[in-house]
Amino acid sequence: MVKKKLLLSVIMPAYNEINTIRKIIDKVKSVNIPKEIIIVDDGSTDGTKEFLQGLNDPSIKFFHYSGNVGKSYAVRTGISHATGDIIIIQDADLEYDPNDYHKLLEPIISGKSKVVYGTRFPNNASRPPLTNKFFLGNRLLTLLSNILYNAQITDEPTCYKVFDSKVLKSLNLKSKRFEFCPEVTAKVRKKGHKIFEVPISYNPRSVDEGKKINWRDGVQAVWTLIKYRFVD
């Protein structure tokens, strides 16, 4: 359990998530941690924006773009408005379970690390078959992170990334689309921060169910890891 009265900033980028947005907000709010929820709608056209505009909740900060700019840009917007001591990234679907927040925050609160990733694949028993294209992309990005940055992690593209807010706000982040994960991994490691991993639960969804990332984003993520090895 979280004992210190620290404020958690939950940054939630959203794009066309009308089927899950209400449920994930309720799940986040139900976690017994002092928090602010920062939702950045990235030009949704399915009713997500209208639902969020209709909320009257002082614990939620809402921002909206008229067009689809990109998930990473939405995350960066959330970071700029975060006032918490710790920041976590939360997708607006139901793949990740906010009940994992307590164990994700513990290494930062206890001083073990200033950066924590929630790993979906801590051991071989939890890993999908290699015929799963998303998992293959995961393996490549994780391998590159370990080779280029000595990250020593098992799940680089995980959504659940948690930061001491001072560390995250100190980074000069530039990504717009889906490059936030490789960019932030590269930059925290170049600053010498150890990435502490915590096993989390995971309920993957398919493309038909709304998964938006594709192979082009994977190529961009690979290039991002390589690029930031040599430039800032």
User: For residue 127, what pLDDT is reported?
Assistant: 66
Q: Is residue 3 part of a domain?
A: no
- Four-CA torsion 119, 142, 114, 177, nearest 10 degrees: -100
Q: What is the pLDDT of residues 51-104, one digit of tens each?
A: 999 998 999 999 998 889 999 999 999 999 999 999 999 999 999 999 999 999
Q: Is residue 1 part of a domain?
A: no
- Would the pLDDT of 130 be above 70? no
Mapped onto helix, strand or coil, the DSSP state of residue 162 is strand
Closest C-alpha among 181, 207, 210, 205 to residue 195: 181
- Domain range for 219 is 8-230
Q: Is residue 162 part of a domain?
A: yes
Q: pTM surpassing 0.75? A: yes
User: For residue 66, what pLDDT is reported?
Assistant: 86
Q: What is the pLDDT of residues 10-35, one digit of tens each?
A: 999 999 999 999 999 999 999 999 99
Tell me the CATH number at 141.
Answer: 3.90.550.10
Q: Is residue 112 part of a domain?
A: yes
Q: Is residue 35 part of a domain?
A: yes
Which residue type occupies 192?
A: G
SS (H, E, C) 18-58: CCCHHHHHHHHHHCCCCEEEEEEEECCCCCHHHHHHCCCCC
Helix, strand, coil in percent for the chain, rounding step 5: 40, 15, 45
Q: Is residue 2 part of a domain?
A: no
Place 205 in a pLDDT band, splitting at 50, 70 and 90: low
- Would the pLDDT of 7 be above 80? yes
Inter-residue contact 151 to 192 (CB < 8 Å)? no
- Would the pLDDT of 107 be above 90? yes
Q: Is residue 173 part of a domain?
A: yes
Cα–Cα distance measured from residue 223 to residue 230, given in angstroms and rounded to the nearest whole number: 11
- Would the pLDDT of 108 be above 80? yes
How many structural domains are present in the chain? 1
User: For residue 183, what pLDDT is reported?
Assistant: 98
Q: Is residue 101 part of a domain?
A: yes
Inter-residue contact 156 to 182 (CB < 8 Å)? yes
